[in-house]
Structures are given as structure tokens and as C-alpha cells.
Structure 1
Amino acid sequence: MKSLLNLCILIAAISLCNATPDFKNCRNSKANQLQPGDVTISACSKTKCILKRNTNASISMKFTPNRDFEDVNTDAQGILLDVPLPFPGYYGTSACPFIYDAEGENKVGCPLKAGETYVYKNSFKILPVYPTVSLTVHWGLNDKNGDAACFEIPVKIRA
């Protein structure tokens, strides 16, 4: 009985480590809608997303573009009081080196084909200069004609 209880606790802990609270698909985006389970951020639990300064967090996003993309860039911003603030070192950089096959095992890069499933995997630093605030993180993959994938999630940055 005790081993069964330990197993249940272990399974619950693993599921919490791989959970991400509800995110929203970006407004005005023509990209295919992401579904629950498509986005995982390592610093998030099932109920909240707390990013601790001076640490790294990883992101995984499974998506299926609705058109071909020759190249995609990362659109990573913090939105504070309705003001978008680009994340230095990520905003506007190529996302191609972080694109994997549908299983997330083999790097495939760009171009991306409409209707094929890909996984974007990256990590990002929570810089010590970031203020300790609650904000919305906007994370998208796009080109000059629109989004391949995009979501927003509320987070709290802590010291």
C-alpha cells in the first residue's frame, strides 16, 4: 500500500513539472490555434507560472503552420501595462535552429511546410535586471507575413 501511495505521489509530481497553466492564443493571429498540452514552460506549474530572476526556463511549443514558411523569427515580449517590451537576445532572432520534428527529437530547422507538425524548443534566461512584476509573456514564431504559432501566458517574475 505504501509503495502504491509513493507511486501516486511520483506521478503527480511529474505531471506538475510538465504542466503549464492555461495560455491564450494570440489575438488577431491567423495561425492555427494551439491546444492544451501544446505549450510547456519549465518554470510553470499547473496553477501558476513563476519565473525566478537569474535562472533559465525552457519552452516547448508543438504547432502546425497553416502555410509554408521559408524562415521564422522569434517574437518574444513581455507585456506590462499594455506596453510590449522585447526580450533582449530573443526578439527578432531566427527560430529555425530550435525547430524539431513532431516528436521533438530531431532538428529539422526551416523551411516549414503547411500542415506538418513541428516542435519549437528553446531556453531563455530570466535576467537579474528584470523587475519583480506580474506581466503577460507573448511568444510567437513569425515572418513578415504573419504567425506560424503564437501564445500569451500570465507570469510573475520573482527575485
Structure 2
Amino acid sequence: MRYLVLLLAISAVVYGGSKVRNCGSSATVNVNGIKITGCDKNPRNCIFKKGQNANMSLPFTSSTQIQAVHAKVSGHLGPLTVPFSLPQPNACINSGLVCPLQADQPNVYVASLPVKRIYPSVRVIVQWELLDEHDNKLVCIKFPVQLQN
């Protein structure tokens, strides 16, 4: 238990300033242009309400042509990683992207993540990835989220 509390305290310090962090994107990500539900009012965490959707708009530019893109989302709570299922993991369908993505052209990925009522009311670090056709990280961002009723 102490280990978990220590990890949560450390993550609060690491994510103290800007909430969204790049975690190894090969594309250029406009971090300041990212819009995420519940991230504008709380200085430390994004607030996701259970039973509602969390929406995101993510601008990025790839330096190479990309044939296909799929999204992967997970939550990190201390040493635990829990995958979240997206209604549409194929980022080329109903997400604002037109595949293949052209090199050096700006793109905006939009998505909606259902926040299920069965999720516990905890603070997690969400990792959202867009992977190319070879499963390479095109985009990877992390941000702190507080799940609330």
C-alpha cells in the first residue's frame, strides 16, 4: 500500500505543470493544441465523469506517409496497466483521419472514450497511442485523469 501511495505521489509531481506529456511519438505532436474533456478546469488532473464520454482532439504531423493507423488506450495505476477498449480502434474510420496519411500534412485525430460506471473512482495516468501499420508509435501521449461519479 505504501508503494502505491508513493507511486501516486511521484506521478502527481511529474505531471504537476502541463498535463499532457509526449511519450515517444515519431510524429510531431502539437501538445498545446490537444483538447481533452475535463482537462481545462483542474490544474493537476483531467476529470473524467463516469457514465459519460471523454472526448479528445489531437493534432499531429507525420514526416512520412502512413498507410493505416489504430488507437490503443491504457490506464496506469502504479505498477498496474489496464487496457481500455475504444468503440472504434481503427483510427482511419470516423476519427477525422483520412488514410493513408500524407507526409508533412497536419492531421487531427478525434476520439471518444466511454468512461464506464464500473470503473473505480481513482487517479490514473492515461496513455493514448496511435500506432502505424507496423505497430510503431506514431503518437503517444500521457496525461493524469481523476475518475469521478
Question: Would you say 1:155 and 2:145 are equivalent positions?
Answer: yes
**Alignment-derived partner of residue 114 in structure 1:** 103
Question: Would you say 1:73 and 2:70 are equivalent positions?
Answer: yes
Deviation of 1:30 after TM superposition, in Å, equals 4.6
Deviation of 1:37 after TM superposition, in Å, equals 2.1
Q: Is there any run of 5+ residues in structure 1 with no aligned partner, and where?
A: 1-20, 101-107
Identity percentage of aligned residues: 29
Give the aligned CA root-mean-square deviation in angstroms: 1.9
Change in Cα spacing, 1:132 to 1:125, as seen in structure 2 (3 Å) is same
**Alignment-derived partner of residue 86 in structure 1:** 83
**Alignment-derived partner of residue 42 in structure 1:** 37
Question: Would you say 1:52 and 2:38 are equivalent positions?
Answer: no
Q: Please, what TM-score do these two structures have when normalized by structure 1? A: 0.72
**Alignment-derived partner of residue 96 in structure 1:** 92
Cα deviations by residue, 1:13-47 (Å, 9 ceiling, x for unpaired): xxxxxxxx521101xx2513423422111222251
Task: Point out 4+ residue stretches in structure 1 off by more than 3 angstroms.
Answer: none
3-state SS of 2:126 partner = strand
Q: Is the 8 A contact 2:25 2:140 kept in 1?
A: no
**Alignment-derived partner of residue 127 in structure 2:** 138
**Alignment-derived partner of residue 3 in structure 2:** none
3-state SS of 1:127 partner = coil
3-state SS of 1:118 partner = strand
